[in-house]
Amino acid sequence: MRFSSVILATVAFATPATAADWSCSNADIAEIRCDSSGCEIERESFTPMSLGISDTSIEICAYSGCFRGRVSIRRSAGELRFYHAIVRTGGAAERAAIILDSSTGSALLRWGSFANVMRCTRD
């Protein structure tokens, strides 16, 4: 009994603290769509996206739906953080890559045809 308590206490202290969660949006910026022929930027009439980031998952809300994915790669280099996830959109799976600069609260989301710059705040 005493041995298992020591193991549980050790595991609890060995687990790294989770990083803060982030909420991001491209409202008041632009919607950027890219394909093999180039990119289009819409600044006037678009529906903003939102992005939620945690250490283990991301959620992208676009138009009338929200789509989630489990983070498969998470790396940090100073204030820059990189996340990769496979996001389910109905039956299909789309890769999502996010670069977040925690010092400026800005992010780049590359998902499907989107390449959106976003402003972010810590939750």
| Residue-averaged pLDDT of the chain | 86
Cβ-contact 31, 67 below 8 angstroms: no
Task: Reply yes or no on whether the pLDDT at 97 is more than 80.
Answer: yes
Output the pTM of the full model.
0.80
Residue closest to 76 by CA, chosen among 51, 54, 102: 102
Task: Reply yes or no on whether the pLDDT at 92 is more than 50.
Answer: yes
For residue 43, what are the contacts with CB-CB under 8 A and spacing of at least 6?
29, 30
Residue 9 forms part of a structural domain: no
- Give pLDDT tens digits for 36-87: 999 999 999 999 999 999 999 999 999 889 999 999 999 999 999 999 999 9
pLDDT band, residue 20 (cuts 50/70/90): low
For residue 104, what are the contacts with CB-CB under 8 A and spacing of at least 6?
79
Owning domain of residue 113: 18-122
pLDDT band, residue 90 (cuts 50/70/90): confident
CA distance 69 to 94: 9
Residue 8 forms part of a structural domain: no
Residue 108 forms part of a structural domain: yes
* Structure confidence at residue 109 (pLDDT): 98
Residue 100 forms part of a structural domain: yes
How does DSSP classify residue 26?
A: -
Residue 25 forms part of a structural domain: yes
At 119 the three-state DSSP class reads strand
Number of domains in the chain: 1
Cβ-contact 84, 56 below 8 angstroms: no
CA distance 1 to 13: 19
